[in-house]
Amino acid sequence: MTISIWRLSHLILAISSSLFIILAALTGTILAFEPISNKLEPFAVKNASALSLSSTIENLKNEYDEIINIEIDKNNFITASVVTKQGQSDSFYLNPFTAKKIGNTIEKAPIFRFTTNLHRSLFLKSTGRAIVGIVSFVLFLMAITGIILIAKRQGSLKDFFSKTIKEDFNQYYHVLLGKYTLIPIIIVTLTGVFLSLERFSFLPESKTPHIKQQQTSISTPNTESFNIFNTLTLGDIKGVEFPFSDDIEDYFIIKLHDKELYVNQYNGQIVSEKLDNFKALATHWSLVLHTGQGSILWSILLLLTSISILFFVYSGFSMALTRKNNTIKIKNTFNKNSAEYIILVGSETGSTFKFAKLLFNALLALGKSVYISELNQYTTYKKATNLLVLTSTYGEGNAPDNAKYFEKLIQDTPQENTLQYAVVGFGSLAYKGFCKYAILVDGLLQQHKKCTPSLTLHKINNKSFTEFKNWADTWAKSKNLALQVNQPKNEPKQKITPFKVVTRINLNSDYSFLLEIQPLKKIAFKSGDLLSITPKNETVARQYSIGKTGKTILLSIKKHEFGVCSNYLNNLKLNDMLSANIEQNTAFHFPKSAKEVIMISNGTGIAPFLGMITDENLKHSKNYLFWGGRTNASYKMYSKYIDDAFYNKKLSGVYLSFSQGESQKKYVQNALMEKEDLVSKVLKNNGIVMICGSVAMQNGVLKTLEHISRDKLNTPLNMKLIKTDCY
Ligand SMILES: Cc1cc2nc3c(=O)[nH]c(=O)nc-3n(C[C@H](O)[C@H](O)[C@H](O)COP(=O)(O)O)c2cc1C
């Protein structure tokens, strides 16, 4: 399977440096605690930064015999080195107001000393430092390739921070954490590289000279009257070195945040000054940003970033492994020109190949000549009569990587034989363009002179094997083939649960009925999930959107004259048993944080909403229900649930439309137009619109919503506010 150049680079960089990255991240995690623990020490004196340098010096002069220097660190702790009146040298944290010692300077704890050495040089001196610098750079490159991969996944760079859809734990958190830690990672890695280069003197040396100033007369050495000492406060300075002797050539050396001053000890005049050059400033800020000194917030961010890097290594490798396991080695026994059946696969993360392989093996088992390849390898096929395309969709409705060239190839490649084709789209309803790329491929084949459809496009949500088997059985039937597509052995078997029928409301005038079934095993489910039912002696399953009413599942079913599943369910009586399995459909769960929700459905599509509006936890939102059916009589079956919800204030509005009412024909779209003020208000306030029912209704409703949004809000419909579950 082809893999994108960016994903490959990301992976190669990770493989080449993962051990060092783990070490750097582990040590980084430990080191992040050092600035936090230092900052929590009580040595920062309140308002000290406003105290003038002259007062500080005078206070110190009164208290000590000699002052060697004072320094102010990133935590605003002031250290003084002095000779006491008893003639002893001491170095300690100082209260500048009283000139008294407030604590001993903090010694670096052995754990931090050890970890710093490991982090900086792996105990390998210069070689280690060079390795660490290179690893830092590799991690920086990984952050850049990571940004490109996320942008590709989200559809574009501008959607970088838009919602990430959760399909798989590792993938989801790899992307989610990536989005928020990539900037700190870039800062940490770049500063790491800078500090390494600085250490190896690879950076140009500073040439900034001290600029001498004209000196005037000498007066008495009274620092209190020195103008510069009166104007500078402790907040302005990083440190002061006191003159070593009375010699006029010995100066006060004052380090400010951007320059260094030499000050005459007799008259307070600035003898010379040197501006910090770019290198000095960059080194200073690299240290601050890389170590988190002086800021608890930044240190915590560094801590979280280091932990995230460890998670990236774990989740990245486990994703690569899954992808590798998904990847099949294509062992074709027939070549492209001798095979009757051609299977072409479009896959980004490999799972579609697994389905393609099942089909491939099933056809081989029937003695058919089959050739399997990727969509990007589309070419001429001399003997082929059938073309089967299985493709996923990636990004925002885009082609997966190994299908990028198909659109061009199909137009440029002549085909001698007529191919009967069928397209299967693998996608997820959680994305707004469900199976969008498969739709495009189907469209391209429809327009192709040498292609005729054997089946209409079939879309599969969430890699459902049941759905795939349904399609394979239907396709095989159309070809008179006794195809046996078997679930792979290592694939987790569907969890079949036994259920008992506890309520049933018989057929209404629309041939619809309600069933409430109770699971006889403890299982978790929510309104909006899907129930897959395979009637006895049948192989094809049928899926229904469910409503959760207390501990039972509510199903709303339309009986079709020849519908195997609907007739099977219609024949069930109270206390009868049935087996089924629940498939999570998180994309159609009730939104947790929306303030307003509009639920739109027609016919039996109301089932998940009946569950949602009876949920006792439903308190946070204002909810409106639009429902369309044939006649008022069709509605009666649901009215008890809706009346109760209305009474319990779980519904703030119910709008019904009947297509065969006594008066005018009315569809949900018409009801939405009548309530366009309400609809536009909900859209404006980022409320959520949920749609469940027929695809035709969904298309009509989306058009109406688009119209309302453009007309009332002057903006295209924000598809992020729409959740659909329509077939
Ligand atoms: C980043 C990302 C973007 C996706 N975008 C879409 C999409 O726009 N439409 C859709 O129907 N499915 C989308 N999907 C779902 C995949 O198409 C689906 O999971 C498919 O089964 C994956 O098959 P593959 O592993 O062969 O690529 C997306 C999945 C991911 C991870």
Domain boundaries along the sequence of the chain: 5-37+116-202+297-322, 42-105+208-276, 327-464, 497-587, 590-726
| Contact 396 CB / ligand 1 (< 6 Å) | yes
Tell me, what's the pLDDT at 448?
Answer: 95
Structure tokens at 254: 């004052």
- As a whole number of angstroms, the distance between CA 61 and CA 57 comes to 6
Grouping H, G, I as helix, E, B as strand and the rest as coil, residue 529 is coil
Q: How distant, in Å, are the alpha carbons of 83, 366, 560, 607 from that of 511?
A: 100, 41, 8, 15
Tell me if 725 sits within 8 A of 632, measured CB to CB: no
**For residue 650, is it left (φ>0), alpha (ψ between -120 and 50) or beta?**
alpha
Structure tokens at 442: 């189907």
Domain 327-464 matches domain 590-726 at the CATH topology level = yes
Instruction: Give the per-residue SS3 of 43-103.
Output: CECCCHHHCEHHHHHHHHHHHCCEEEEEEECCCCEEEEEEECCCCCEEEEEEECCCCEEEE
| Contact 55 CB / ligand 1 (< 6 Å) | no
Superfamily (CATH H level) for 327-464: Flavodoxin domain (3.40.50.360)
| Contact 351 CB / ligand 1 (< 6 Å) | yes
| Atom 15 (ligand 1) nearest CA | 427
Q: Which atom of ligand 1 is nearest to the CA of 392?
A: 17
**Angle between helices 125-154 and 110-121 in degrees, nearest 10:** 80
Please tell me the distance between residue 722's alpha carbon and the centre of ligand 1 in angstroms. Answer: 18
- As a whole number of angstroms, the distance between CA 174 and CA 7 comes to 13
| Contact 428 CB / ligand 1 (< 6 Å) | yes
- As a whole number of angstroms, the distance between CA 198 and CA 205 comes to 10
Name 414's Cβ contacts closer than 8 Å, sequence gap at least 6.
Answer: 380
- As a whole number of angstroms, the distance between CA 393 and CA 412 comes to 23
**Angle between helices 296-326 and 351-365 in degrees, nearest 10:** 10
Please tell me the distance between residue 168's alpha carbon and the centre of ligand 1 in angstroms. Answer: 11
| Contact 152 CB / ligand 1 (< 6 Å) | no
Please tell me the distance between residue 143's alpha carbon and the centre of ligand 1 in angstroms. Answer: 23
- CB count within 10 Å of CB 341 equals 25
* Residue 396 backbone phi and psi in degrees, to 5: -100, 75
pLDDT, tens digit (0-9, with 9 covering 90-100), for 559-584: 887 778 888 899 999 999 998 989 88
Question: Cα angle vertex 110, ends 107, 112, to 5°?
Answer: 85
DSSP state of 113: H
* Burial zone of 142 (CB within 10 Å; 0-12 exposed, 13-18 middle, 19+ buried): buried
- Strands (DSSP E) contained in 214-352 are 237-241, 251-256, 259-264, 270-275, 341-346
- As a whole number of angstroms, the distance between CA 383 and CA 336 comes to 8
Q: Which residues pair with 580 in a beta bridge?
A: 497, 533
Structure tokens at 601: 């459905």
| Atom 16 (ligand 1) nearest CA | 427
Which residue among 171, 394, 432 is best mutated to probe the pocket of ligand 1, counting the most ligand atoms within 8 A of its Cβ? 394
- CB count within 10 Å of CB 677 equals 10
Tell me, what's the pLDDT at 212?
Answer: 64
- As a whole number of angstroms, the distance between CA 101 and CA 90 comes to 10
Question: Running along the chain, 727 residues long, what does each successive block of 10 average in pLDDT?
Answer: 77 92 94 91 93 94 94 94 93 96 91 94 89 94 93 83 82 92 94 88 64 57 76 94 88 92 89 85 92 91 95 93 74 92 93 92 94 95 96 90 94 93 90 89 95 93 82 93 80 77 86 93 92 74 88 92 84 91 87 93 94 88 94 88 92 92 82 96 95 87 94 91 83
Which residue among 392, 424, 459, 471 is best mutated to probe the pocket of ligand 1, counting the most ligand atoms within 8 A of its Cβ? 392
Tell me if 338 sits within 8 A of 369, measured CB to CB: yes
Sign of the C-alpha dihedral computed for residues 329, 478, 427 and 553 taken in this order: negative
Name 708's Cβ contacts closer than 8 Å, sequence gap at least 6.
Answer: 672, 673, 676, 679, 680, 683
Tell me, what's the pLDDT at 661?
Answer: 67
CATH topology of domain 590-726: Rossmann fold (3.40.50)
Please tell me the distance between residue 389's alpha carbon and the centre of ligand 1 in angstroms. Answer: 16
| Atom 1 (ligand 1) nearest CA | 153
Nearest to 474 by CA among 422, 516, 509: 422
| Contact 406 CB / ligand 1 (< 6 Å) | no
Nearest to 505 by CA among 415, 670, 409, 640: 640
Q: Which atom of ligand 1 is nearest to the CA of 434?
A: 11
pLDDT, tens digit (0-9, with 9 covering 90-100), for 532-547: 887 776 666 688 999 9
Nearest to 323 by CA among 712, 621, 3, 726: 3
Tell me if 480 sits within 8 A of 514, measured CB to CB: no
Please tell me the distance between residue 685's alpha carbon and the centre of ligand 1 in angstroms. Answer: 29
- CB count within 10 Å of CB 649 equals 11
Which residue among 148, 429, 431, 440 is best mutated to probe the pocket of ligand 1, counting the most ligand atoms within 8 A of its Cβ? 431
Superfamily (CATH H level) for 497-587: Translation factors (2.40.30.10)
Which residue type, as a one-letter code, is found at position 75? N
Please tell me the distance between residue 155's alpha carbon and the centre of ligand 1 in angstroms. Answer: 12
Structure tokens at 444: 């391209």
| Contact 348 CB / ligand 1 (< 6 Å) | yes
* Residue 516 backbone phi and psi in degrees, to 5: -115, 125
| Contact 395 CB / ligand 1 (< 6 Å) | yes
Tell me if 288 sits within 8 A of 294, measured CB to CB: yes
Grouping H, G, I as helix, E, B as strand and the rest as coil, residue 119 is helix
Name 477's Cβ contacts closer than 8 Å, sequence gap at least 6.
Answer: none
Please tell me the distance between residue 460's alpha carbon and the centre of ligand 1 in angstroms. Answer: 11
| Contact 153 CB / ligand 1 (< 6 Å) | yes
DSSP state of 494: P
Which residue type, as a one-letter code, is found at position 713? L
Q: How distant, in Å, are the alpha carbons of 44, 141, 234, 330, 537 from that of 617?
A: 49, 47, 57, 51, 40
Please tell me the distance between residue 529's alpha carbon and the centre of ligand 1 in angstroms. Answer: 19
Tell me if 670 sits within 8 A of 656, measured CB to CB: no
Query: Residue for token digits 């290594």?
Result: 313
| Contact 394 CB / ligand 1 (< 6 Å) | yes
Structure tokens at 515: 């069933």
Tell me, what's the pLDDT at 341?
Answer: 97
DSSP state of 586: G
Please tell me the distance between residue 392's alpha carbon and the centre of ligand 1 in angstroms. Answer: 6
Q: Which atom of ligand 1 is nearest to the CA of 168?
A: 31
